[in-house]
Amino acid sequence: MTEIALLARRSVREILRYPEATIPGLFIPLFFLAVNVGQVAKTFPSTTPFLHGQGYVAFQLPVSLMFAVATAASGLALVTEIDIGYFDKLLAAPIRRSSIIFGRLAADFVRGLVGSTFVLLAGFAFGAHIEAGPLGAVLLVFLAACFGVGYAGFGVLVALRTRNVQATNTSFLLFFPLLFLSPNFVPFDRLSPVMEALARANPVSYVIDGLRSLVIEGWEWDKLAYCTLVIVGLIAILTTLSLRAIEQYDR
Amino acid sequence: MSDAPAIATHDLRRTFKDVDAVRGVNLSIAPGEVFGFLGPNGAGKTTTVRMLCTLLPPTGGTATVAGLDVVRDAAQVRRSIGVALQEIGLDPVQSGRELLELQCGLYGIPAARARTRAQELLELVGLADVGERRTKTYSGGMKRRLDLASALVHEPQVLFLDEPTTGLDPASRRTVWDEVRRINEAGTTVFLTTQYLEEADQLCDRLAIIDAGTIVADGTPEELKARMGHDVVALTFDDPGNGTVTAAERAVAGLEGLERTVTERDGTALYVRDGAAAITEIVRLLDAAGLRAKTINLARPSLDDVFLQATGRRLEGAEKETAA
């Protein structure tokens, strides 16, 4: 546990010392929020049934939260360490290899908390409010950060398997099809039959739906349960694959 | 100190797909030794070190470090060794001090002791005044010294240094040599790979020459040179043309212990069994033939000669080293 804490502290320090690597990533979700809301706010006024009396910004806020936390930053940091030789130094230390992964993911959690809080505050500034109240807002930030941890596992996995900076960087692009094949702009029942089928098969849809329920509906336990299940599954699968990759590294 | 070897390998092998990088290496290194592993690029030095450091599993044979099997007891081996690999493994975001304190933590050293130990090590490698700077601002020599310090946080029994001076200027190289001597004097066994002959000669109690994954010679530097079986007596002449060199070679042809002569641009090189003893007789024979040498130099065989004899070619970088 100590070694995870030490490695996590180092990774957090890395985030703080390279704000230029984090801050631009926070403006992209805000950009999408502003552009999407600007384009369709008149089409979907607050009287639209699925908005439950809020503006369209509230409907889009969860998508921006996910944008803020889904990064390949840990994968990139890891592949850079492999490249410069520091990774070997860590492997030669008497620590569990899994600590290297958990140290990185712990920093992703911190990054996710900070990023999603920032986007949430921006959402408030745009006029959104959290129907589930302050506790719902905390849960929203927490779940978003957890989704960031799960998604980071994908970048880490690519970094360990390919040991290639470009491949790891490109892994972030996977997020776009996952995001756009979801009830990103409208609810499931407003999608075309084909898109709805694809969206219902896409696990990310349930994360969006769960987070969105906290913002515009309140405490919808079934949606929150699906959302949590997907996030836990994502963390479990990608972390397990990453742990296996690091155990097999040069074996 | 135990008599058991600090490092022992038996028929150690590593194959990558269809490439045999290490082909049956046998080593026995006593505690407290500085052991050199000399060879050109691609000879199998780094692969051997990575296996001994538990970073790469062997595909054949066995190896023990500090009495522990590198496969079965990998975790304990890592507690007993310090590692400074060829690629300097430093985190550029951290300061030198932070990096050492983290390294202490990873070896289970409590935070308060880690702070003291980091300071000791920064002083040891002469980086105390730049300890707060991020490592990315360090020069190549400073990075190498910090890397060396980070390998020492837990006072390892065995220290692996993989080409620790490659890419360093001569002054930095000598600083690293001084550190290695100091570390060894404190009782640490040092396993050093190098492609610099002078480094091996200066630092190592014993060494092995590896070529194409196989050890082709081993012993102390003096033993290896002595095994060459000859010294070189180089004669130069004021007027090497006009048959002087040929006449000189003819005059010494009957010299006892003479193995061969090699005609050079301004004289001749005589390969004799005992150069020091032969010089008087060489002078007498030249005198008897009416010849007078301008200079007479007695040279012991170098490790480069040993390498040449063992592998059939000179070591890459040997010329560069002489120039440095």
Hey, which residues does B159 pair with through a beta bridge?
B82, B190
Counting one residue from A and one from B, how many pairs have CB atoms under 8 Å apart? 71
In chain A, which residues have their Cβ closer than 8 Å to the Cβ of B150? 89
Of B305, B96, B151, the residue nearest B221 (C-alpha): B305
In angstroms, the separation between the Cα of residue A249 and the nearest Cα of chain B is 9
Average of per-residue pLDDT across A182-204: 93
Question: Given CB atoms, is A91 within the 8 Å cutoff of chain B?
Answer: yes
Average of per-residue pLDDT across B169-193: 89
pLDDT of residue A1: 63
Question: Given CB atoms, is A247 within the 8 Å cutoff of chain B?
Answer: no
A198: pLDDT strictly greater than 90: yes
> A202 vs B172, which has greater pLDDT?
A202
Nearest to A93 among B93, B107, B134 (CB): B107
Of A89, A96, A100, which to mutate for an interface test with B (greatest number of B Cβ within 10 Å)?
A89
CA-only gyration radius of chain B, Å = 24
Of A87, A83, A84, A85, the residue nearest A103 (C-alpha): A87
Angle at A194 between CA A146 and CA A206, to 5 degrees: 15
Name the pLDDT band for B320 (thresholds 50, 70, 90).
very low
Helix (H) or strand (E) holding B269: strand B267-272
- What does the block give as tokens for A123? 């959402």
- What does the block give as tokens for B54? 């538990």
If DSSP codes are grouped into helix, strand and coil, which group holds residue B232?
Answer: strand
Q: Which residues contact B83 (CB under 8 A, 6 or more apart)?
A: A88, A89, A92, B53, B151, B159, B160, B162
Helix residue ranges per DSSP H, B135-169: 140-150
Instruction: Please write down the long-range contacts of A18-26, taking CB distance under 8 Å and 24 or more positions apart.
Output: A18/B93, A21/A73, A22/A73, A22/A111, A22/A114, A22/A115, A25/A68, A25/A71, A25/A73, A25/A115, A26/A68, A26/A115, A26/A118, A26/A119
Comparing A26-30, A89-93, B222-226, which segment has the lowest mean pLDDT?
Answer: B222-226
Could you report the per-residue pLDDT of B122-152, keeping only the tens digit for each?
A: 998 889 999 999 999 999 889 999 999 999 9
B116: pLDDT strictly greater than 90: yes
In angstroms, the separation between the Cα of residue A4 and the nearest Cα of chain B is 9
Tell me whether residues B106 and A85 touch, CB distance under 8 A: no
B229: pLDDT strictly greater than 80: no
In chain B, which residues have their Cβ closer than 8 Å to the Cβ of A13? 93-94, 98
- What domains, with CATH codes, occur in chain B? 7-222 (3.40.50.300), 229-300 (3.30.70.980)
Written as one string, the DSSP assignment of B218-229 is EE-HHHHHHHT-
pLDDT of residue B133: 96
ipTM: 0.86
pLDDT of residue A203: 94
Question: Given CB atoms, is A94 within the 8 Å cutoff of chain B?
Answer: yes
In angstroms, the separation between the Cα of residue A72 and the nearest Cα of chain B is 18
**Angstrom distance (rounded) from CA A188 to CA A185:** 9
Could you report the per-residue pLDDT of A114-152, keeping only the tens digit for each?
A: 999 999 999 999 989 999 999 999 999 999 999 999 999
pLDDT of residue A234: 95
Question: Given CB atoms, is A35 within the 8 Å cutoff of chain B?
Answer: no
pLDDT of residue B266: 84
**Angstrom distance (rounded) from CA A226 to CA B315:** 65
In chain B, which residues have their Cβ closer than 8 Å to the Cβ of A7? 102
Question: Given CB atoms, is A87 within the 8 Å cutoff of chain B?
Answer: yes
Question: Given CB atoms, is A16 within the 8 Å cutoff of chain B?
Answer: no
Tell me whether residues B93 and A13 touch, CB distance under 8 A: yes
Tell me whether residues B93 and A81 touch, CB distance under 8 A: no
Give, rounded to a whole angstrom, the gap between the first and last alpha carbons of chain A: 25
Tell me whether residues A10 and B94 touch, CB distance under 8 A: yes
CB B143 within 8 A of CB B175: no
Tell me whether residues B107 and A250 touch, CB distance under 8 A: no
Give B241's Cβ-side CA count (13 Å radius): 0
Of A2, A6, A86, which to mutate for an interface test with B (greatest number of B Cβ within 10 Å)?
A86
Tell me whether residues A88 and B94 touch, CB distance under 8 A: no
Tell me whether residues A93 and B78 touch, CB distance under 8 A: yes
**Angstrom distance (rounded) from CA A148 to CA A111:** 8
pLDDT of residue B60: 96
Average of per-residue pLDDT across B165-170: 82
Domain ranges for chain A: 2-248
Nearest to A94 among B85, B107, B134 (CB): B107
